[in-house]
Structure 1
Amino acid sequence: MIEAENASFTYQSAPSPALQDVTLTVQPGECVVLCGRSGCGKTTFTHLLNGLSPEFYPGTLTGRCTAAGLAAGEAAIEAYVPQVGSVFQNPKTQYFNVDTTAELAFPCENAGMEPQAIRRRVDEVVEQFRLGPLMDRSVFKLSGGEKQRVAFAAACMLGPRLLVLDEPTSNLDAAAIAQLHDMIAVMKQQGVTVVLAEHRLA
């Protein structure tokens, strides 16, 4: 599912690489934790996995990094959308709508699905993750944990083969972390590959 071979990445105008000589293989269905102190390159590596680097975050990539068959620096960023779901540290950075139900529907609308199929998929994901009480609400009135649960569900709407989570628990309390854990477990049981970047192993 993921293959990196001597992958190094230097951001534009940066004096030194943010990521250096990473070589690894991740098999389909594996759950892998990237753990290390802040600034060690975890986020940079996740950006190679979801196509944000080097297209959105420009820089120089040497070596090779592929995720779900897509090569960083070669595949178009839109090719990653149906294959790789991403959840970031701050869910506010990935919302496109102010209404929770519309937020779940957005990936499907963006992919050109028919309205009836979109409604059916929203219902499936809401039931799968027990999000009923969070639907048809303003995202501005959700707690941090609730926002992260909706962001996670939105990342799963198109049935990705790979989930990339960049420190998704950093702003959550223990109860919200437990709920997110359960959502990750559901996807792992379905055979989805999960890469989780965290600086706190617990």
Structure 2
Amino acid sequence: MNGTRCALDGCSFRYASDESVDGVERGVHAIDHVSLQARAGEVVMLVGRSGCGKTTVTRLLNGLAPEHFRGSLHGEARVGGLHAGVAAVEDYATEVGSVFQNPKTQYFHANSTDELAFPCENAGMEPGEIRRRIRERLRAFDVEHLRDRNIADCSGGQQQQLAVMAATMLDPGVLVLDEPTSNLDAEAMERLRNMVKRLKRDGIAIVIAEHRLA
């Protein structure tokens, strides 16, 4: 793949008639002949109005479509050796980290440290390695004040920071963010931008869907 971590080649996708399609008119292709690629250490921005297909692209990259969000896919969407519509969604766990518009929808625990540990526990890591990874992430992003916090007491920006860290706990090669700044103020957006810059330096391919280019 010539250094490419993820790619879409001529992809068209139409949701099944009974699926939620995020503003896309039923029976119409959510995306039509879309191609893109993201290499290691590269940030790719998907920018456009609501309903133009940004979220659909992210779902093809993290395996949620067409397995979870059902529909017909033509073309090829791949991440590493995984192909959308062929690989099971659980196979993407170590390949793609996902951060959604509202971080509250992706939390499994009330405690921040437990939330960071959760992906590693699912992967069967040893407790010592899990603790090491948590320490490393908190130091790397300079957010050690977020250790052992009640997530409900954290600000929206802090919750999004935790979501980004949790999405990178298994060292994925690709990180997908779907409108991650929609609920953030200017200060929180700057902190998120700095996190993205750090992940870019670490060689992660990052795909961001946003309706605001800034």
TM-score class normalised by the smaller sequence: over 0.9
- Which whole-Å CA distance do the structure 1 matches of 2:208 and 2:178 have between them? 6
Q: Deviations over 1:1-40 (max 9, x none)?
A: 2221220111110311111110223222211101111110
C-alpha contact (below 8 Å) 2:157/2:189 kept by paired residues: yes
The CA distance in 1 between the partners of 2:131 and 2:117, in whole Å, is 7
Which residue of 1 is the match for residue 15 of structure 2?
A: 11
Quick one: which amino acid aligns to residue 6 of structure 1? G
Query: Deviation digits for residues 141-177 of structure 1, max 9, x if unmatched?
Result: 1111010000000001011100101110010000000
Matched pairs, number? 202
- Among candidates 74, 81, 87, match of residue 75 of structure 1: 87
Gaps of 5+ in 2: 18-25
Q: Which of 150, 169, 191 lines up with 1:138 in the alignment? A: 150
Which of 163, 181, 185 is equivalent to 2:175?
163
CA distance in 1 between partners of 2:183 and 2:122 (Å): 29
Alignment correspondent of 1:27: 39
How big is each residue's C-alpha offset from its partner over 1:31-70, in whole Å with a ceiling of 9 and x where there is no partner?
A: 1101111110000000000001111111111111112221
Q: Which whole-Å CA distance do the structure 1 matches of 2:197 and 2:42 have between them?
A: 12
Alignment of 1:44-83 (within 5 A): 44-83=56-95
Structure 1 runs not aligned, ≥5 long: none
Structure-1 residue corresponding to 2:161: 149
Is the CA contact (8 Å cut-off) linking 2:43 and 2:206 kept in structure 1? yes
After superposition, give the CA deviation of every residue in 1:71-126 in whole Å (9 maximum; x if it has no partner): 11011111110111111100011101010000000000000001111111111111
SS of 1:116 mapped into structure 2: helix
8 Å CA contact 2:117, 2:134 repeated in 1: yes
Worse-matched range after superposition: 100-109 or 20-29:
20-29
With normalisation by structure 2, the TM-score equals 0.92
Q: Is the 8 A contact 2:38 2:206 kept in 1?
A: no
RMSD: 0.9
Identity of aligned residues (%): 54
Give the alignment's TM-score, normalised by structure 1: 0.97
